[in-house]
Structure 1
């Protein structure tokens, strides 16, 4: 069953158009890589899906039309965003960050700290006192606490130490294997994306230029659209 469909999505920042026709779809339980060089429209596409930026085209999620919804109503349909840059609430504790937007469901505080034990150890610390890796764990845990149907990870391993990056990838693999959660991943680590994703969509200058199974993503395609 298709969970999210984006068709011919266009968007602009003032007079500067950023998206010229993005198409992608994610099935229930599917892990999709959204790929492309920097500045090609990946994060803008996420903003459109989460209704943080007006867009043209068609956006449907779990049978509902997203295009006319404000962001808070789109989130309540089951969109869980881990934004680029983490954006934790620095003056709130770990526990407060996790429960701030929590919704009832399988994901509870106890389940999140079982996945990220360090968050349990630091539950009473302010988020601003955490390391970058710990803040990333907190951002993922916060999104999971909304009990989403689709988890969106926008550069979730960027700027982290290699050992923390591998821990985040291990969590993504566990989520795929154990929960059936649909996941949209933006990341530059092609090796890890090949390992965890089912399919991929590549953007070039605000347009979808390739989509298909991750197994069909050849070196020639990645060199053309992703390589430096």
Structure 2
């Protein structure tokens, strides 16, 4: 069953058009990789889906309901959980306060977050500002999960992290797919890790969807054409 359907959307930053024709779909329990070179519209697509930017054209349907006219907080309440680029933890709050700030009843609670990210379990009373970059990223993911989303959106969740921490984040994402059956939209540059976890991929170039298929069908030619330097 299709959970998210994005059809031919456009979006602007002020007078500058950033998206011209982006389409993608995510089914219940599916992991979709959103790929493309830097500056091609990946984060803008995420912001538009989450209602942080207006939809200038096209449609965004979540569980059959139109998100285009909803404010961001109502879209989130429908089941969109965003881990934004750059983490954006509430640095003046503790780890525990970050986790409960937007918590909603459901499967994900403090104990399950601690099981997924044991590093956070011993730091509940620490301020988020005192955490390492990797721990802040874990906290950002935990905070999104505490909203008990139906779709988790991760925008560059491993960017700028040490290799060992990156692997911990990827292991957690694999656990979410395997054990929680959560639909996930992944924006990342790590082709090897994406290939291991994503069911399908969408590639955007200059604000348009240029390729969409099963991850297994992503050939070297397509990679070089749309993702190579």
TM-score per shorter chain, which class?
over 0.9
- Please report how far the alpha carbon of residue 15 of structure 1 lies from its aligned counterpart in structure 2 after TM superposition: 1.1
Q: Name the counterpart of 1:29.
A: 29
Q: Is 1:99 matched with 2:97?
A: no
Q: Alpha carbon RMSD of aligned pairs, Å?
A: 0.4
Q: Name the counterpart of 1:164.
A: 165
- Please report how far the alpha carbon of residue 118 of structure 1 lies from its aligned counterpart in structure 2 after TM superposition: 1.1
CA distance in 2, matches of 1:191, 1:209: 21
CA distance in 2, matches of 1:108, 1:114: 10
Aligned structure 1 segments of 4 or more residues deviating by more than 2 angstroms: none
- Please report how far the alpha carbon of residue 45 of structure 1 lies from its aligned counterpart in structure 2 after TM superposition: 0.3
Return the TM-score normalized by structure 1: 0.99
Can you give the 5+ residue segments of structure 2 that lack an aligned partner in the other structure? none
Matches within 5 A, 1:9-88: 9-55=9-55, 56-88=57-89
* Matched position secondary structure for 2:112: helix
* Matched position secondary structure for 1:52: coil
CA distance in 2, matches of 1:139, 1:97: 8
Per-residue deviation, residues 57-115 of structure 1 (Å, max 9, x unmatched): 10100121101000000000000000000000000000000000000000001110111
Per-residue deviation, residues 177-211 of structure 1 (Å, max 9, x unmatched): 11110000000000000000000000000000000
Q: Name the counterpart of 1:221.
A: 222
CA distance in 1, matches of 2:168, 2:133: 13
Q: Name the counterpart of 2:156.
A: 155
Per-residue deviation, residues 1-37 of structure 1 (Å, max 9, x unmatched): 0000000100011111000000000000000000000
CA distance in 2, matches of 1:178, 1:14: 42
Q: Name the counterpart of 1:193.
A: 194
* Matched position secondary structure for 2:126: coil
Q: Give the number of aligned pairs.
A: 228
Can you give the 5+ residue segments of structure 1 that lack an aligned partner in the other structure? none
